[in-house]
């Protein structure tokens, strides 16, 4: 029986969602998945990146992280998206990647993918949960199987855990205010577990 193939696709300007993606990678590998951590393409002009030292440093730090492609979606049994909120919605970088998948959608190659999502913002009510559910709205159109954490683990009751998908608040110094590692790892493991059920059922 082959392992679940999980693509963790993120957008991060200064590093928070990259850190969430790496936590999810660790949890998914503990659950036995084959994992790819992939970033979406940066759309902001270089001048904007250069004007923010933290942004510029993160771009340099992650220059070797592969850029997500449609082929990665075809490869994956499961996908975890992670992106910061932008005015309560999905950032344009992630939105463009998702919007470019119309061909796969038309061919039925995105249906039954097992999907979960995470997000961040600079204040505790900055739109994180709205961003997660916005991603899920598109997943319903794909015919994907959305796997939210729900209240399936104690981490849902701790900082950052919630029933929609792990969310985190970024402090002024660029770090996470909440300790969300347990919540992220549970979400990743739950996503992998459901993907195993789906994959095994399809192979019978």
What is the pLDDT confidence band of residue 202, given thresholds at 50, 70 and 90? Answer: low
Asked whether the predicted pLDDT for residue 141 surpasses 60, the reply is yes
* Position 204 confidence tier, pLDDT thresholds 50, 70, 90: very low
Residue 65 has pLDDT above 70, yes or no: yes
Domain ranges across the chain: 5-203
Report the distance separating Cα 192 and Cα 133, nearest Å.
Answer: 20
Residue 125 confidence (pLDDT): 78
Neighbour-count burial of 152, counting CB atoms closer than 10 A to its CB (0-12 exposed, 13-18 middle, 19+ buried): middle
Question: For domain 5-203, is the CATH number 3.40.50.360?
Answer: yes
Span 34-55, average pLDDT: 95
Average pLDDT for residues 22-49, to the nearest whole number? 96
Rounded-to-integer distance, Cα 27 and Cα 193, Å: 11
The CB density around residue 151, as the number of other CB atoms within 10 Å, is 12
Q: How far apart are CA 36 and CA 19, in angstroms?
A: 14
Q: 60: Cβ–Cβ under 8 A, 6 or more apart, which residues?
A: none
């Amino acid at each position: 029986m082959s392992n679940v193939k999980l693509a963790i696709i993120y957008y991060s300007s200064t590093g928070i969602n990259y850190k969430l993606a790496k936590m999810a990678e660790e949890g998914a590998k503990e659950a036995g998945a084959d994992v790819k951590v992939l970033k979406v393409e940066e759309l902001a002009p270089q001048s904007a990146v250069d004007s923010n030292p933290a942004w510029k440093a993160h771009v340099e730090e992650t220059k070797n992280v592969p850029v997500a492609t449609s082929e990665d979606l075809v490869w994956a049994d499961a996908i975890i998206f992670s992106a910061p909120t932008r005015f309560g919605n999905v950032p344009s970088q992630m939105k463009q990647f998702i919007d470019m998948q119309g061909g796969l959608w038309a061919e039925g190659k995105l249906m039954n993918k097992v999907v979960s999502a995470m997000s961040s913002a600079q204040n505790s009510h900055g739109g994180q949960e709205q961003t997660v559910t916005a991603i899920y709205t598109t997943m319903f159109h794909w015919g994907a199987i959305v796997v939210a954490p729900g209240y399936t683990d104690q981490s849902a009751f701790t900082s950052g855990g919630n029933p929609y998908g792990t969310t985190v608040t970024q402090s002024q110094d660029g770090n996470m205010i909440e300790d969300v590692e347990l919540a992220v790892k549970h979400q990743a493991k739950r996503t992998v577990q459901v993907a195993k059920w789906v994959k095994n059922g399809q192979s019978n």
